[in-house]
Structures are given as C-alpha cells and as structure tokens.
Amino acid sequence: LECRAEGDPLPSTRCARQGGTRHGATTRPRGGRVVSRADAGSYVCRATNRHGVATRKVVVSVECECGGGEGGG
C-alpha cells in the first residue's frame, strides 16, 4: 500500500497496518507484493511536515487469493 501526499515542504509519508505488520510477504520483481487474505485489514497512512500531520484510515479487502506465479493461475 502506497501513501502519497503533497505539501510545502514535501511531507514524509508512512503507511502501516493497524495492530502490527504482516511478515513473510512475497515480493514480485517489479517491487509489488503478492497479497493474500491475511493482508486484509485496516491501514493508517500518515503524512508529516513541519506544519503538522494528516492521517487517513484505509480498509483493505482481499476477495480472491490467486495460486501464485505472474499469471495468477
């Protein structure tokens, strides 16, 4: 999950799962993660600069867990 924000100065951003992180995720060659139903949950994205902090909560649902490989077969 990517967190983006704009501002002056440009804020630093962080996105984290509420209640901890998931370990052992598989990474695809392009840098994206292979997701599973275990990744479903609430995430908080936070942007911070010298003017303050902005947060957004995002709920992620995973409806289908594919069998692996690039084709997802």
List pLDDT tens digits, range 15-25. Answer: 999 877 555 44
| Sign, CA torsion 54/15/65/30 | positive
- Taking the domains of the chain in order of start, what are their residue ranges? 1-24+34-61
Q: What is the rounded CA–CA span in Å between residue 24 and residue 46?
A: 24
Q: What is the rounded CA–CA span in Å between residue 73 and residue 71?
A: 5
Strand partners for 53: 48
Tell me yes or no: is domain 1-24+34-61 CATH 3.90.1150.10: no
In the numeric block, the tokens 């709920």 are attached to 59
Q: What is the rounded CA–CA span in Å between residue 66 and residue 16?
A: 24
Predicted model pTM? 0.65
List pLDDT tens digits, range 23-37. Answer: 544 444 555 677 888
Task: Tell me the residue type at 62.
Answer: V
